[in-house]
Structure 1
Amino acid sequence: MRNIFKGSLRGYVCEDCLEAVSEVEILIYHPYRNANSTANAASNVKETFRFVSKEEAKQRAELLVYKAKTDAEGNFQIEVSENHLDASFDIDFVCGTVPPKHPKPKRDEIVQLHITTFSMRLELEKQAKDEKHRWEYAIAYKWWCYIRGHFFDAWVICGHLMNCQTNKPIANAKVTAMDADFFTDDNLGTATTDSNGHFRIDYTSADFKKTFLSPWINIETDPSFLSFQSGPDVYFKAELGGTKLVDETKADARKNVGFCLCVNLCSDVNVVDPNDPNFPSAWTGIGAAFSSSYGSSSYDFDADGFAGSGKNVLYSVIRLTGQAALRSGSGNPIEYRFRVSDTTAPNNTVSLPESNFTKIVGVTPGLFTSSIVSKLTRKVFSFILNDIFVWSDQSDFDAEGWFDVNHAIERTLIAVGLTPADLALYNIIEEDTLISLNTTALTTAPSIPANSINAGQNIPAGSKIPLEKFAIRFEIREVIDKPSNNFGVIGGNGKTLNSVVMNNNPIYRKLSIKELDESSLCSPISGTIHGRYTVYHPYLAGCSLHLNNNSHTVERDILDGVINTLPAVDERTNNSSQLNNPPADMTRCTYTLKLFSSTRKHNGDYGDSDGGTPLEQLFFYDV
Structure 2
Amino acid sequence: MSYLFNGNLKALLCDKYCTEVLAGVKIRLYRTATLSTEVVAAAVAAPKETFHQVSDGELNAKASLLLAETTTDDQGNFSFTLGEKQRYAGEAFDIDFVCGNVPRPKPGPKKFPELQFHITTLQPRWAQRENDFTAAWVYVVPARWWCLIRSKFDAWVICGRVMDCKNNRPIAGVKVSAFDVDWIQDDPLGSGITDSNGYFRIDYTTADFSQTLLSPLLNVEWPAGPDLYFTVQEPITNAYLLKEDRSIGHSASRSNRGPCFCVDLCASPVTTDGGYFPALWEAVGDYKIHTQINADGYTIAPELYAFTGTVALNGKLPNGSNTNAMQYRFRIFNADTNYELTRTQVNAAMPAFVIGQMVTYHQPTPPPPFDETDVVINPALDPEGWITVPRGNNLNSGGLFSPSGLLGWLNTAALALNAGGTQAHEDFNIATPSPVIAGNPVPGSAIGAVHTFRITFESRELNASTLSSTDTLNKIVVSNVTYLQRRHPSWNYTGDVTAVGAGLLEIQETTAGGNGCGTIGDAIHVNYTVAHPHMDTCSISFEGNPVLPAAFTPAVSGVSQISGSQLFDTSGMQPCAYIVWLNVSLRLTAGSGRWTGAYISDHIAFCKKPAI
What TM bracket, shorter-length normalisation?
0.3 to 0.5
What TM-score do you get using the length of structure 2 for normalisation?
0.47
What TM-score do you get using the length of structure 1 for normalisation?
0.46
State the structure with more CA Rg: 1
